[in-house]
Amino acid sequence: MRHTISVLVENKFGVLARVSGMFSGRGFNIDSLNVAPTHDASLSRITAVLKGDEAALDLCIKQLRKLVNVVEVVDFKEGQAVARELVLVKVKADAKTRPEIFQINEIFRAKIVHLAADSLIIEATGDDTKVSALLGLLEPFGILELARTGRLALKR
């Protein structure tokens, strides 16, 4: 089962290693892991998408709350959070295929952030199904490079 966990931590050296070590020590596979400072520079938010069972998750959350430098831990249940993902994808694009790629971008409200003679770099945000659907439609054109953030989430 997939779980989205938000961990607010003090922005200090070694905190990420302790938190991610806790996940792996409890047998969770980390699907995605995002870390960045919040509006308060002394705090960072770790958003992790984990695969594992409910019982192990409850124990993991209790142990996370006991870690030094952890301020808050939230397990987002279905529908409790707004979740988004960002993708940058570099796609082969010649004069013949560009109009079709532009149409796909309009449908997904994606942006062209770089244009070269033989390729485009596209930026898109949305839930993971939207991002995956966009990538599925772009794949036949030839994906040259891809960078995907994984899920970010905030409580509603």
Q: The domain spanning residue 112 has which CATH number?
A: 3.30.70.1150
Same domain, 72 and 19: yes
Give the residue numbers spanning the domain of 98.
82-155
Please tell me the distance from the alpha carbon of residue 54 to that of residue 51, in angstroms, as a whole number: 10
pLDDT tens column, 116-133: 999 999 999 999 999 999
How many structural domains comprise the chain? 2
pLDDT tens column, 62-119: 989 999 999 999 999 888 899 999 999 999 999 999 999 999 999 999 999 999 999 9
- Give pLDDT, residue 93: 96
pLDDT tens column, 22-62: 888 877 888 899 999 999 999 999 999 988 788 888 888 89
**60 Cβ neighbours under 8 A, 6+ residues apart:** 22, 23, 26, 28, 52
Same domain, 88 and 132: yes
Same domain, 112 and 47: no
Same domain, 104 and 151: yes
